[in-house]
Amino acid sequence: LLWISYLDPYGKPRHGVAYLSQSVANSPNELGDNAKDWIRGVGQPSVGNPRHDLSRKSELGNCQTFTEPSLFHRQGETYLAANCLVMKNGQRRVDLERLVLLREQESGYEFVGDLLTGSDAARFGVERLEQAELTTSKDGDLLLLATPMSGGANHAGCFVLEVESLDPPRMARHSDGSLKTPVFVTDSGSKEKGPGACSYDPNSETGVIIVRRDFEFDKKPPRIAFSLLATGYHP
């Protein structure tokens, strides 16, 4: 299990830190008991001691940190897909951000390539494509679920995208280079920040699951509610 760990202490100067933590266990109930600081980027200061600094790889040298990790096992290989967050001169550069794919090895991780880039998001009229999940259809075809995002944390549903190959990483595209988008999943019941962050397992009767976000910030205290919506749709 991999997840994002944040350190954002109170007071000034404000100094936020994000890295990926890891836990390996024989059962879900044991996960988290042996957590390790696992993956960092170039923006990780001397807080914690993540084992793998992926920004040392030339292809990932501008990755401030890595977010939204997704693990996927196929044909004896374990892959990690994660967002590479880029900062330059104190400003976030979404045009340079990308969804990177790595292969797990005994000594760490091997960079395989980029699955999505900032130009892919721009073609859809959004800033970023994040919260990605690699999975398969009922027929065994490779799929990638991704949430289009703009303006901080504004979600706009989920794309279900076709993946032609993991090594080398290659998405299904039209002749002009744009992504083929067979399915777009959304939820009209979500309020404020919109729906997003989807998951799919071909063996589950739920079909694609999407997170419903119900925020009412005008109330005191603000009402913040998350729930999972089973769409019943199988791509």
Mean pLDDT by 10 residues, the chain (235 residues): 76 64 89 84 69 89 91 95 91 93 93 96 89 95 91 78 96 93 76 76 95 76 82 92
CA atoms lying within 13 Å on the CB side of residue 21 = 15
Which domains are assigned to the chain?
57-230 (2.115.10.20)
Alpha-carbon span 14 to 41, nearest angstrom: 19
Q: Are 128 and 149 in contact (CB under 8 A)?
A: yes
Determine how β-strand 52-53 pairs with β-strand 36-40: parallel
Alpha-carbon span 142 to 229, nearest angstrom: 23
Q: Are 100 and 114 in contact (CB under 8 A)?
A: yes
Give this prediction's pTM: 0.87
Q: Are 58 and 42 in contact (CB under 8 A)?
A: no
Looking at residue 3, what DSSP letter applies?
E
Q: Are 4 and 67 in contact (CB under 8 A)?
A: yes
Alpha-carbon span 120 to 22, nearest angstrom: 29
Alpha-carbon span 6 to 12, nearest angstrom: 17
